[in-house]
Amino acid sequence: MTAFAAPIAEQIWDMKYRFKEADGTPIDTTVQDTWTRIAHAVAAVEHDPAAWEPKFRDALVDFKFLPAGRITAGAGTARSVTLFNCFVMGTIPDTMAGIFDGLKEAALTMQQGGGIGYDFSTIRPMGAAVTGVAADASGPLSFMDVWDAMCRTIMSAGSRRGAMMATMRCDHPDVEAFITAKSDPARLRMFNMSVLITDPFMEAVKANGSWDLVFDGQVYKTVQARDLWDAIMQSTYDYAEPGVIFIDRINQMNNLSYCETIAATNPCGEQPLPPYGACLLGSINMARLVNDPFDAGAQLDGDALTDLVATAVRMMDNVVDASQFPLEAQAQEARAKRRIGLGVTGLADALLMVGLRYGSEEAAAQTDKWMHQIARAAYLASVDLAKEKGAFPLFDAEKFLASGAMQHMDEDVRDAIRTHGIRNALLTSIAPTGTISLYAGNVSSGIEPVFAYAYTRKVLQKDGSRTEEEVVDYAVQMWRDLKGDADLPDHFVNAQTLAPLDHVRMQAAAQKWIDSSISKTINCPADISFDDFKEVYMAAWDQGCKGCTTYRPNDVTGSVLSVSQEASPSEVPDQVRDGDSGAEVVYMSEPLDRPAELEGATYKLKWPDSEHAIYITINDLVIAGHRRPFEVFINSKNMEHFAWTVALTRMISAVFRRGGDVSFVVEELKAVFDPRGGAWMQSKYVPSILAAIGGVIEKHMIAIGFLSGEGMGLKADPKADVVPLNNKPRTACSSCGAYELRMVEGCMTCGACGYSKCSG
């Protein structure tokens, strides 16, 4: 017997969350060991750990409460990592020294595994005078390029690339350049980007008024507000960025509006945070709490929900004390306010189980009730903690209760807070749960609809054979277990068949009871008209959302498997319903063995000003008639290069042996710049010796037919010839090579391995 509901769940646990020795030897023998490890670590800060550890473990059993990835992977391991997911860095001073101090802090935070957010509105616009040096400012986007380059070189904890959010106010003089910056697909790719939208701006848009672009009291330019809004909409329509954040609404609703001002969020937008703000995340698995699923009397177990929320709040509050922090300023900020972000996952599955169509008015009403119950239970649990352990240090009862979010809270909860205080300044947030939802048996992610009912995962074994695994949505699998081959009911709906305004309705219903914010993607069909697309954002504003993120398939961001909006679940062709377009999608289950002999080539690289040349040998493997790189050796007589070249060859070879689309290795190497300067080679500037090595590997990949050309993608690969239904190109996951990338909760996420640069 196994605790996992699906093979992919166990694979995610083993790959992402299982505690192992440095050499890969498992320390967590089973997932039960993982639950025990987490419960023990979180209970350790209690006055009576032995009393609480079993309670905490019971919340984790059966995947009922899902701490975010940082906690699940790091708690109880004694590793130097933070258990917090989200950080917003300090306000960037408008000075060169302050800017690069901020860059250093960002690097230290990402090194420990935190995703970060920055507001670049504080940097003077391009062309503004720089006092004392007789020069013009290069503007915030030029410094964002520096941040982007830094992020590419930092591998954050858990083998995850750093993720960043950049925000800019809608009245900054460089906002027009900010809006279109990512129309260049090679620029700022480590950033998610959002424009901070103010209430006066939205009023000007609706009134078709003028709008001043201002910095430090000086008006640089006046535009029509509606033109600027349309520019944001056009860029988002074309390139899926920037998102919009309704920043005045966030500050008005913030429980802590009396002691902080928010100007940025974490990478996926669910955590608006002040300077040096930090937040940890966790999710209640709604799909595990439904009694009698798919029967006439199916309903969520309200008592179990309330009890689970109370336990989760206590566990997360303990993490504030148990966690390390990259910076002391982050530790002080977290402990002064004790912010937590408790959310949900599996909401769409739970709605299906009780017979409601996601996006309907009935489903939105039920979501409102469930979120209300969670908020109420969380706040009362935090009051109980305040009675026992004290309120958060900056608590001021009257100011706290005067905030916008507390105005619609139940009066008995308000009275309890007024009398006893509250332990945590903010308690609720709906975060990206792509990986942990797979770990919990492929439940629907966050408050998103079910993305696809099922798809087929093809795995390449070491002997060259292929096995197939069907990855099925949790609710769909439960329907099959209970009802056999009966057709899915008409109330089953997925992201491909859902109208965009139905997405907005669900986000707005949940937002009412979420004191932070929500990470959600509103999927739009490729052929949606521009006017209808703009209406999605205006509806999000009118219905009280704190932000809006959309995804419309296009040639720049790629496309995803789509299903006719008119088709009911029972009418969708089997091959589409199963996510199979007739293509081969192959993942390496483990590294391939090295044959006794391999074919390859050796290249000589002479770096200017270096006494000795570097020799790069690349050997290839042939699979299914295609040649692909398998290992790399780098040699030089220069002993200064010895340690890093050995490390580099081992890392690159390990990546190559995993299979899949490894062209990103070239991309990453070529992006590395040397602060001492690069060199001109064959009439082309190369920013570093590592970039030069990347160029050699790219040259070899082109020569063997693995890449189409310089700066281009795969030409042939043994794992797939993928022909999507809409005949548009699809992008492979850089982690596992699968063609299952989709926009989920504001970030491109792999449906096969759960990889996302944003989620924990």
Give the model's confidence band at 89: pLDDT under 50 very low, under 70 low, under 90 confident, else very high.
very high
Determine, yes or no, domain membership for 452. Answer: no
pLDDT of residue 735: 57
Determine, yes or no, domain membership for 65. Answer: no
Determine, yes or no, domain membership for 652. Answer: yes
Instruction: Quote the pTM value.
Output: 0.79
Would you call 270 a catalytic residue per the annotation?
yes
Determine, yes or no, domain membership for 269. Answer: no
Q: Kindly write down the DSSP assignment for every residue of 302-358, as one continuous string.
A: HHHHHHHHHHHHHHHHHHHHH-B-SSHHHHHHHHHH--EEEEEE-HHHHHHHTT--T
Q: Which one is catalytic: 270, 333, 448, 668?
A: 270
8 A C-beta contact, residue 332 and residue 323:
no
Backbone angles phi, psi at 685, to 5 degrees: -80, 125
Q: What is the DSSP letter of 450?
A: B
Q: Helices (DSSP H) in 558-688: which residue ranges?
A: 574-577, 642-657, 664-670
Of the chain, the percentage scoring pLDDT greater than 90 comes to 58
Determine, yes or no, domain membership for 52. Answer: no
- Average pLDDT in the 331-343 region? 97
Rounded mean pLDDT of the chain? 86
Give the model's confidence band at 610: pLDDT under 50 very low, under 70 low, under 90 confident, else very high.
confident
- Average pLDDT in the 74-89 region? 88
Segment among 15-19, 169-173, 345-349, 736-740 with least mean pLDDT: 736-740
Determine, yes or no, domain membership for 6. Answer: no
Beta strand extents in 541-651 (DSSP E only)? 547-548, 550-551, 586-588, 599-605, 614-623, 626-636
Is residue 401 pLDDT above 90, yes or no?
Answer: yes
pLDDT of residue 585: 35
Task: Give me the half-sphere count of Cα atoms (radius 13 Å) on the Cβ side of residue 392.
Answer: 30
What's the domain range around 688?
A: 599-703
CA dihedral 626, 630, 632, 633 (to 10 degrees): -110
d(CA 749, CA 116): 18
Is residue 248 pLDDT above 80, yes or no?
Answer: yes
Task: Count how many domains the chain has.
Answer: 1
- Average pLDDT in the 51-73 region? 96
Would you call 266 a catalytic residue per the annotation?
yes
pLDDT digits (tens, 9 = 90+) for 613-664: 888 999 988 776 678 888 898 888 777 777 888 888 888 888 888 777 788 8
Q: Which one is catalytic: 266, 285, 318, 424?
A: 266
- Average pLDDT in the 494-510 region? 93
What is the chain's alpha carbon radius of gyration, rounded to the nearest angstrom? 26
Is residue 43 pLDDT above 90, yes or no?
Answer: yes
Is residue 151 pLDDT above 60, yes or no?
Answer: yes
pLDDT of residue 596: 74
pLDDT of residue 751: 66
Residue of higher predicted confidence among 246 and 470 = 246
Determine, yes or no, domain membership for 319. Answer: no
d(CA 598, CA 593): 12
- Average pLDDT in the 493-516 region? 94
Is residue 561 pLDDT above 80, yes or no?
Answer: no
Is residue 488 pLDDT above 50, yes or no?
Answer: yes
Determine, yes or no, domain membership for 478. Answer: no
Is residue 558 pLDDT above 70, yes or no?
Answer: no
Give the model's confidence band at 597: pLDDT under 50 very low, under 70 low, under 90 confident, else very high.
confident
Q: Which one is catalytic: 86, 151, 170, 268?
A: 268
Would you call 241 a catalytic residue per the annotation?
no
